[in-house]
Amino acid sequence: MEIALIQYANDISSEAHIEVMRKVKVGMKEYQLESMFLHHTYMYGGCRHCSYTCICPTGENSVILHYRSAATPNDKTLEDGDIALLDMGAEYHFYGSDITCSFPVNGKFTSDQALIYNVVLDAHNVVISEMKLGVCWVDMHILVEIVIQKSHFKTAIKWH
């Protein structure tokens, strides 16, 4: 029963993230992305609450760790070329989901954005393939660092 509840929270959260990706447009506000997620999880999943306060930064705001507090109004206008970093998860019968995704607001990665996205995706995939019962999270963290170092992405990106 518990696994089914966790799976449900994850499934409806995944659907909501996909719905936000489909509907996002340049000119919208960050809070509208959050609103679409909340609407979808409640309307189509019966999830009245989120696991935590939604985090929906775009553009330069996406580099602020856990952007979204009383000090951050979540009202930036989405611009062409922005990356959206959505960290949102629904809660269902006290079981919560936690999903983070990144995507280009205009639907197309720049070459720099694609490079970073693919390095992170490679690191993610390596960890998933190596993760098993008894493996320490520190070892997985070290593995991620190795993948990133081997990618040489620091030399490929123009730092501003």
Tens digits of residue pLDDT in 32-91: 999 999 999 999 999 999 999 999 999 999 888 788 766 777 899 999 999 999 999 999
Domain count across the chain: 2
**131 and 98, same structural domain?**
no
Quickly count: other Cβ atoms within 10 Å of residue 139's Cβ.
12
- The CA distance from 102 to 63, in Å, is 12
Q: Sheet containing 49-50: which strands, arranged edge to edge? A: 49-50, 90-92, 95-96
Q: Which amino acid is at 146?
A: I
Decide which of 80, 108, 136 is a domain's last residue. Answer: 108
Which pTM value belongs to this model? 0.87
Helix (H, G, I), strand (E, B) or coil at 111: helix
Can you give the residue range of the structural domain that contains 114? 110-160
R_g of the chain computed on alpha carbons: 17
